[in-house]
Amino acid sequence: MHINDDEFDYIYYTYGLKLYENMPLVEPLEYRENKRIREFVIAIDTSGSCQGATVERFLQKTYEILKNTESYFSRVNIHIIQCDSKIQRDVKVTTDDEFDAYMQDVQLSGFGGTDFRPVFDYVDELIERHEFQNLRGLIYFTDGRGTFPEQPPDYETAFVFVEEGFEIPEVPPWAIKLVLREEEI
C-alpha cells in the first residue's frame, strides 16, 4: 500500500491545518495503482546485419532497465523472439535465473532477410492463446531494413536501431523510434 502523492492536494491540507489548527481538511489517498511491467516481448532481428556481441549487450541492458524500474515483479513473462523473415526462436523468461541461463548460451539463428510482420502475427497468436494477460509492449532491435506492418498492434511498440553509418528508416506513426550509438548499449 502506497500513498498516492500525485493526487494529494496540499492546499486544502495546509488550509485546514491553519484554520482548524491540527485538523487537515483532506487526508492523503491510501492507495495507488502501480502499472507493473510483467509481460513484455523483446524481438531481435537476426538478419545478417544484427549479430553477436551487440545483440547480447542490448539484451543485457534492456533486461537491466526492466529490473531496475520500481514496478518490476520478481516473476515476469518476457518472450525473447529471434526472427529474420520468419520466427526462428522464442524463449520464455520468467525469472532472473532463467534470463541468466539464456544469456550464458545465446545462440542466434536466422541470418536471412528481414520482415517485421511475422513477429507481430506471432505475438497476436500468443495473445489469443492467453500466453499474455496484460502485454505491456514489444521492443524490436533491428537494422530497420524490412517490411513494417501496416496496422498498429494492440500494444505499444518501439523499434531500436544502432547508428552504424547507414540511413535509419522511418517507422510507422504508431511506433516509437529509438536510435542508439554503439557505446550506449
Q: Which residues of the chain have pLDDT under 50?
A: none
Contacts of 63 (CB under 8 A, 6+ apart): 78, 99
Distance CA 51, CA 92 (A): 20
The H or E element containing residue 102 is: helix 96-104
Under a CB-based contact definition with an 8 Å cutoff, are residues 146 and 114 in contact? yes
Per-residue confidence (pLDDT) for residue 28, from 0 to 100: 60
Per-residue confidence (pLDDT) for residue 37, from 0 to 100: 57
| First CA to last CA distance, the chain | 35
Tens digit of each residue's pLDDT (9 = 90 or more) over 133-149: 889 899 999 877 888 99
Distance CA 9, CA 6 (A): 8
Distance CA 109, CA 43 (A): 13
Per-residue confidence (pLDDT) for residue 90, from 0 to 100: 92
Per-residue confidence (pLDDT) for residue 4, from 0 to 100: 65
